[in-house]
Structure 1
Amino acid sequence: MIEVNGARLGYDDTGDGTPVVLLHAGIADRRMWRAQTAALAARHRVVALDLRGYGESELPPTPFAHHVDVVGLLDALGIARAALVGCSFGGAVAIDTALAYPERVDALALLGAAVTGHEWSDETNDIWESLVGDVDPADHRASAAAEVRFWVVGPRRRPEDVDPELLRSAQEWDERALATEAALSAVDVAVLDPPAAGRLAELRMPVLVTAGALDLPDISRLADLIAATAPGAVRLPDVPDAAHLLPVERPDPVNAALLDFLR
């Protein structure tokens, strides 16, 4: 644990070399990065963070911003600049950090990233209705099962097509994340203003973009948009046989792509 902007945050700090910070999906926590930490730590100092309120990190009832916490973590660890790797919501936090503090970010690797200010398409809402339907938001177990079906299994396969251990882990992570989201609703969480959706051309550092081939169509479209707009972006093909948690589901191709990019 480390004190950052008035909150104690959970993190892992492994290896030596150029710094890399891993930012988890909103349905998970830093445990999703175990395979990447092991692969990258031979060449890099790898910091995997639990964003405020997630995993082991505290959520004091004071205003904050996730991207400000990321830079606060760099300051607390004595890191002047780092590459940021983000999946899903963690990708959105990585982008916001790079826009707010470009002097602190060497590179961005975005894996199925969200983008602040982006509005989901009607198609995504229709997919939710067809796969999940109505769920009681107060029932975290049922809500997590619905989100695992929607995000981790995805719209193009059945639960029995997915590794049961991945589904078990994702259910556990997401139940904890949903409790966090409920708590976050009572806290003043500042967002980047203006949001990232209209500012992707400001990302002047090298940017790697990919997504899971079995993820929602909106996620691949966002990857296309980032790659077409950020001047230094490289768009890798979508990772086969993977949905939203592609670093967990397909660690080998993800690790290879990260090692090559960060080199």
Structure 2
Amino acid sequence: MQIHLNGIKLNYHEEGSGPAIVMLHAFPLAGAMWHTQVALLREQYRVIVPDLRGFGGSEAPPGPYLMDTMADDVAALLTQLGIAQSAVIGLSMGGYIAFSLWRRHRQLLSALVLADTRAAPDNTEGQAAREANARLVEEAGPPAIATKMIPNLVAPSASQALRDELSRLIHANSSQGIAGALRGMALRPDSRPDLGSINIPTLVIVGTEDSLTPPAEAEAMHHALPNSTLVQIEGAGHLSNLEQPTAFNSALQSFFAA
């Protein structure tokens, strides 16, 4: 389904009924990365899965895409759908957007799942790497980013079938969308000062083999969050929901049933 909001065309998928859950995908993928979780959660929940601006079937305007702007997109979508409050699941970039949602639209949030993400901003080196990748995709296209990033997105033991799936998702995005998100992530603020104020139930998930946002980052967030649970998923890298879906889904089930 598509909807016009905040000056762009946003694509989203919706299944099920009950309390709302919105799922925010990782960079540089799309909402389709949540297919296994949607199949589980739609039995009891109204699941909303947007393609964030610049990705999947959504429009890719000129960037940068600030995390606040993407959070405003999500808030506008929930408002358009008549959803007063929703749980939010964000993985990696989706987690950055979840932090912005808390700062800007916390009345919309009933619970949080922060998966394979971090509260700290990019340092100077990280910002430079984002800009280098933005220029790479502008010059060589999404396949170049896929080739560069996929080895770091998953654990070494990840199957070739999963790597091929990630390639398809990345290749389907536009260079402008990928570059816009890269430059927006480089500009994101430090969310660590906000952690102590996040008093809603929060689940922190991390793959034990996540090299991009390692378990130490998740542990630090967990200790700073006043109402959080930490789950480490064995054998998963940065995309724990795709690499170990059974363990990831089990963590979600336990959290939402509590």
TM-score (norm 1): 0.83
Match of 1:181 among 157, 178, 181: 178
Gaps of 5+ in 1: 126-134
Provide the rounded CA distance (Å) in 2 between the counterparts of 1:26 and 1:189.
Answer: 10
Q: Secondary structure at the match of 1:204?
A: coil
Runs of at least 4 residues off by over 6 Å: 188-192
- Of 137-146 and 245-254, more deviation after overlay is shown by 137-146
Q: Which residue of 2 aligns with 1:130?
A: none
The alpha-carbon distance between structure 1 residues 218 and 102, as it changes in their structure 2 partners (threshold 3 A), is: same
Provide the rounded CA distance (Å) in 1 between the counterparts of 2:193 and 2:235.
Answer: 31
Q: Secondary structure at the match of 2:207?
A: coil
Q: Which residue of 1 aligns with 2:113?
A: 109
Gaps of 5+ in 2: 130-134
Following superposition, the deviation at residue 217 of structure 1 comes to: 6.6
Q: Which residue of 2 aligns with 1:46?
A: 47
Match of 2:202 among 190, 204, 207: 207
Among the aligned pairs, what percent are the same residue? 28
The alpha-carbon distance between structure 1 residues 20 and 196, as it changes in their structure 2 partners (threshold 3 A), is: same
The 8 Å contact of residues 26 and 177 in structure 1, kept in 2 or not, is answered as: no
Q: Confirm or deny that 1:170 pairs with 2:166.
A: yes
Provide the rounded CA distance (Å) in 1 between the counterparts of 2:147 and 2:234.
Answer: 23
The 8 Å contact of residues 148 and 167 in structure 1, kept in 2 or not, is answered as: yes
Q: Confirm or deny that 1:22 pairs with 2:23.
A: yes
- Of 32-41 and 238-247, more deviation after overlay is shown by 238-247
Provide the rounded CA distance (Å) in 1 between the counterparts of 2:4 and 2:70.
Answer: 14
Following superposition, the deviation at residue 118 of structure 1 comes to: 4.6
How many residues get paired?
243
Q: Secondary structure at the match of 1:174?
A: helix
Following superposition, the deviation at residue 119 of structure 1 comes to: 3.5
The alpha-carbon distance between structure 1 residues 112 and 183, as it changes in their structure 2 partners (threshold 3 A), is: closer
Following superposition, the deviation at residue 250 of structure 1 comes to: 1.1
CA-to-aligned-CA distance 1:43-101 (integer Å, 9 cap, x gap) = 10000111111111112348870111110010011000000001111111112212221
Q: Confirm or deny that 1:197 pairs with 2:192.
A: yes
Counterpart amino acid of 2:165?
S
The 8 Å contact of residues 99 and 202 in structure 1, kept in 2 or not, is answered as: no
Provide the rounded CA distance (Å) in 1 between the counterparts of 2:195 and 2:35.
Answer: 29
Structure 2 counterparts to residues 76-95 of structure 1, below 5 A: 76-95=80-99
Provide the rounded CA distance (Å) in 2 between the counterparts of 1:181 and 1:6.
Answer: 19
- Of 12-21 and 220-229, more deviation after overlay is shown by 220-229
The alpha-carbon distance between structure 1 residues 201 and 119, as it changes in their structure 2 partners (threshold 3 A), is: farther
